[in-house]
Chain A
Amino acid sequence: MAKIIGGIGTSHIPAIGIAMNRGLEDTPYWKDFFAGYPPIRKWLDEQKPDIAIVFYNDHGLEMFLDKKPTFAIGCAPSYENADEGWGIATIPPVTGETELSWHIANELVEQDFDPTICQDIKVDHGLTVPLSLMYPGHNYQHLKVIPVCINCERYPMPKPSRCYALGQAIGKAVESFAGDQKVVVLGTGGLSHQLDGERAGFMNTDFDLDSMDKLVNDPEALTKYSNDDLVAIAGAQGVEWNMWLGMRGCLRGKVTELLRNYVAPISNTGAGTQLLLNE
């Protein structure tokens, strides 16, 4: 059976991609943030996962309001990135996967999740910034990526408990796949931040750090929140915690925290980085 070796939580802020393009990693503003990544890259180099399942949200590159899936899964051999309108450089195509991804799609429907199944989607910074962080210099094309997209923009959006359950269903599906692939799961986005309204700039660093603790040993506590709760506690875009919950749901073994970093503010957000081992 395929095995999920661990989960990685990471920010996906566009400014990170821009900073990498400009070579600003060692500048005072960015240094503490980027310091969290070399140990994760080392772990990835040692573990050599074959496949990455990436929970992300599309910010209006592919999934506009005209047809906006609540949950979507990619089953394509490759994914293009494209111009998002405000200046982040486009990265080369991301390698996809067409066997485990279809297996997950089939199993999800059997488990009463009904995602939109996508054979041709563009992926935005929600997915590409994390990949660039894990594999700088665009050295990610050996890794087969399965995108899992969660609506975090327009209400109604899936509840935290549902995102966690989706992760559990995906974890179960991976375990039932006849193969010996090593799979890593990424939860991207967050943590606390608010971009819109008179409350713009709100963060909650105590909540972020406490929730990173809970993510390790008591993730179900986080599933008790509603999205409205998350907005109140962690800012309007704090609902991106849902991607981290999806990631954590996939880890069905004994979970231990290997690495953590947290820096705020990065752009307008509390930026968390966390590596969880699944045994």
Chain B
Amino acid sequence: MTEQNKGTWGTIKFDGAMATLGFALNKMCYSFNTAEAREEFNKDEASYCDKFGLTSEQKEAVIKRDILELERLGGSIYYLSKFAGVLGLNVQDVGGIQTGRTTEEFQAYLDSQGRGKHNG
């Protein structure tokens, strides 16, 4: 086993295999950099997924907002963040979704590791 294959719990290493699996999905999410694309997606999500050639599993995970499943299917968090933006979710919302917490619970988890913040 090479050093490269060492994994960290709860972390999907976004490597060549994952980038291959997720290319179409990531390309779709990359398109969300433009307002026109976001609007088109919002009008008909399934058609927009088809336009980019997502697999049926990827499409289903998009419709279900299943962020973890999208990561397992090759989604990179860089582009999934843009998808989250289309949905009006911030990174604490996305953290909550992935960890089975509400956004408030996720924020509390972050705060539990806090340091250097004295609230002014």
* A interface residues, Cβ below 8 angstroms from B: 15, 26, 28-29, 31-33, 59-61, 64-66, 82-87, 153-156, 194-203, 205, 209, 226, 228, 231-232, 236, 261-265, 267-268, 270
Contacts and interface: CB of A to CB of B under 8 A. Distances in A.
B98 A64 contact: no
Given A226-B3, A228-B3, A236 B120 contact: no
B94 A83 contact: no
Question: DSSP majority for the A interface?
Answer: loop
A205 B3 contact: no
Given A86-B86, A156-B16, A200-B98, 6 more contacts: A32-B116, A85-B81, A87-B85, A197-B12, A203-B110, A267-B91
Nearest to B76: A153
Given A83-B35, A268-B91, A154 B76 contact: yes
B33 A84 contact: yes
Interface stretch (B23-31, B48-56, B57-65): B23-31
Contacts of B81: 59, 85-86, 195
A201 B106 contact: yes
B29 to A, nearest CB: 8
A82 B34 CA distance: 9
Nearest to B86: A85
B98 A198 contact: yes
Contact of B95 (A28, A195, A205): A195
Contact of A153 (B14, B32, B86): B14
A154 B14 contact: yes
Contacts of A203: 110, 113
A255 B80 CA distance: 39
18 contacts: A31-B120, A32-B118, A32-B120, A65-B23, A65-B26, A65-B76, A84-B33, A153-B78, A197-B68, A198-B68, A201-B106, A201-B110, A202-B10, A228-B4, A236-B77, A264-B113, A267-B92, A268-B91
B46 interface: no
Nearest to A226: B3
Given A197-B11, A265-B114, A82 B91 contact: no
Contacts of B43: none
B71 to A, nearest CB: 6
